[in-house]
Structure 1
């Protein structure tokens, strides 16, 4: 009896947009939270506390040669693709105010436990970012050469009402890295009575050629370059009769020259 592959006889059209909308209203908050834990987002930004991302953000960087580059949950974006502020959309009920925050928890040049805030807009009516209060203007990402991949995190907070961010305001445009030193945990602890985190998206990026220009032209500083100093492996005392050892065993006892 001849076997017939049914997949060659039938085709199924899957409405991906409908599937995504269904996912966003059912499993997405739990999947996003699990992914955030996997990438240590909650550990590094909220000291281990987490939340369900009930508002799914649609974030796109406009790339001249490649159309649009989306931000999902850990996908890789190059600094060249993120030179300009992204477009951010999210579904929301009319009449609410929001705060959008973009931070890098991995790229601080001085302190290991500090972040850089790349973008912050508060008191956003609905999803009209242009009508919100710009606390920090957009600063392109600048992962230093030799530091590997860094996380770029977007957080959306729902406000209980208009928030007074006068304590956070700095002269704009802000190109001072000390002024952009930030702690999401301290920020949320300060405003937790009026802010509720409801949205999370993030990408990863590492150094490319555009970062050099950001350091020189935007930040007006020399570009730092890092190298990993590989520690030497400990050498145990040589055995007189190295049982079951290969010839490579003897190499570690030979003079360096």
Structure 2
């Protein structure tokens, strides 16, 4: 009689991952069967990852990754429902229309270059040559209809004293107190020229239209029927200096030259009063009225910003000088609590939750005190020249506040602004002027 074979009790491979409340046995039952190698069906490493054990079902038992149930995908052909790039750009781009004269021959340009070569070479040696991008054609943004352009076919120079109006150079209203000097190229014919000076961003009396076909401008000056080779003509609209309001940034001041064969009566654009609203002008309508008689031949423009002369000009015509301020989005700040979790200097905390008008008023008061007692309000050369003494004597928050004031950072930036905020272009121009003055001083001292 053979002795009954007894197998040792084996711990289940699932015992380490037992879930409380399940109906599965903790140990494998003792079965009287021959020993065989234990083989686990391999379904990749994902079968043994932690996220496989949250749900025990037939997929888990088989060690196979459970497939994800995804909705049925519908294939979409973009070529059928979306227009191509060429079709979209063709629809958005307006039809171009040249309303000016034909381009002048290249021979004229070549002779002009030869004539000016010696002059430009001398300026280049002395590092006094200034480069400007010469545009041979102008697209009439905010002047005419979209897509309308014309070529520069006639030399046209505009000067305010020693300041030349070039391709969008930056000026101030003080640079243009009186009528500019104009020089118009003579083409050797009996034709006439008409000059319009327009403020393309100055109309604040007309509501914006639904489209770009009827833009408005301010007519600052109009001199008409100028004989070929001359600079004087009939003054249709008397000169008014540019009036960019404070806070409105740069205004584009454009000088447009029209050419026509015979004298034209422009009495329909004469102004009836001195108010700015009487100078509201629509160049598109003006050109449409006289399109059979006049043709644009040249354009120059500059960008002019506000200064104190604008107030004087407006007061002379019986108007008040408006002020415009940018409405910034209210800064995001945490809810004010009695005991904040994160420590913060109390002066910063007060500036954060006080009305911004009070903070600006305090800074402005400091600026006035400096102007009264010191006669000027300029930034300190060093953040704190008495740093060791103040570090020991003053509280930490007061010392940091003093350094911020001397550096002109944060709210104290308004202390040292003379004519408002200066953009990157103005800052670069100022640096160039400072460097040039420094070089001139070094030359004088060396001599």
Q: TM-score range by the shorter chain?
A: 0.7 to 0.9
Match for residue 126 of structure 1 among 220, 228, 247: 228
Q: Name the CA distance, whole Å, in 2 between partners of 1:43 and 1:232.
A: 34
Q: Flag the 1:166–1:115 CA change in 2: closer, same or farther, 3 A.
A: same
Where 1:145 maps in the other structure, the secondary structure is coil
* Cα RMSD for the two superposed structures: 2.5
Residue 104 of structure 1 contacts residue 151 of structure 1 at CA under 8 Å; is this kept in 2? yes
Q: How does 1:86-235 map to 2 (within 5 A)?
A: 86-92=180-186, 93-111=188-206, 112=208, 113-130=215-232, 132-170=233-271, 175-217=274-316, 219-232=317-330
Residue 184 of structure 2 contacts residue 230 of structure 2 at CA under 8 Å; is this kept in 1? no
Residue 105 of structure 1 contacts residue 115 of structure 1 at CA under 8 Å; is this kept in 2? yes
Higher strand share: 1
Q: Name the CA distance, whole Å, in 2 between partners of 1:252 and 1:98.
A: 60
Residue 121 of structure 1 contacts residue 129 of structure 1 at CA under 8 Å; is this kept in 2? no
Q: Flag the 1:106–1:170 CA change in 2: closer, same or farther, 3 A.
A: closer
Residue 97 of structure 1 contacts residue 158 of structure 1 at CA under 8 Å; is this kept in 2? yes
TM-score (norm 1): 0.72
Structure 2: which 5+ runs fail to align? 1-115, 123-131, 209-214, 337-351, 354-447
Q: Name the CA distance, whole Å, in 2 between partners of 1:175 and 1:98.
A: 26
Q: Which has the larger radius of gyration?
A: 2
Q: Name the CA distance, whole Å, in 2 between partners of 1:212 and 1:230.
A: 25
Q: Name the CA distance, whole Å, in 1 between partners of 2:203 and 2:121.
A: 40
Q: Name the CA distance, whole Å, in 2 between partners of 1:207 and 1:29.
A: 26
> Deviation digits for residues 54-105 of structure 1, max 9, x if unmatched?
112111111xxxxx00001100121111001111002122421111110001
Q: Name the CA distance, whole Å, in 1 between partners of 2:292 and 2:134.
A: 24
1:3 paired residue number? none
2:135 paired residue number? 31
User: Does residue 1:254 correspond to 2:335, yes or no?
Assistant: yes
Match for residue 118 of structure 2 among 15, 32, 54: 15
The structural deviation recorded for 1:29 is 11
> Deviation digits for residues 18-39 of structure 1, max 9, x if unmatched?
99xxxxxxxx997242xx44xx
Match for residue 55 of structure 1 among 154, 159, 167: 154
Q: Name the CA distance, whole Å, in 2 between partners of 1:32 and 1:84.
A: 29
User: Does residue 1:74 correspond to 2:174, yes or no?
Assistant: no
Structure 1: which 5+ runs fail to align? 1-12, 20-27, 63-67, 234-250
2:88 paired residue number? none
Higher helix share: 2
Q: Name the CA distance, whole Å, in 1 between partners of 2:289 and 2:329.
A: 41
Where 2:151 maps in the other structure, the secondary structure is coil
Q: Flag the 1:18–1:86 CA change in 2: closer, same or farther, 3 A.
A: farther
Residue 216 of structure 2 contacts residue 283 of structure 2 at CA under 8 Å; is this kept in 1? no
Residue 32 of structure 1 contacts residue 200 of structure 1 at CA under 8 Å; is this kept in 2? no
TM-score (norm 2): 0.43
Higher relative contact order (CA 8 A, sep 6+): 1
Residue 275 of structure 2 contacts residue 319 of structure 2 at CA under 8 Å; is this kept in 1? no
Q: Flag the 1:29–1:121 CA change in 2: closer, same or farther, 3 A.
A: farther
> Deviation digits for residues 147-206 of structure 1, max 9, x if unmatched?
0011000000001311121222335xx522222100111111111110000010000010
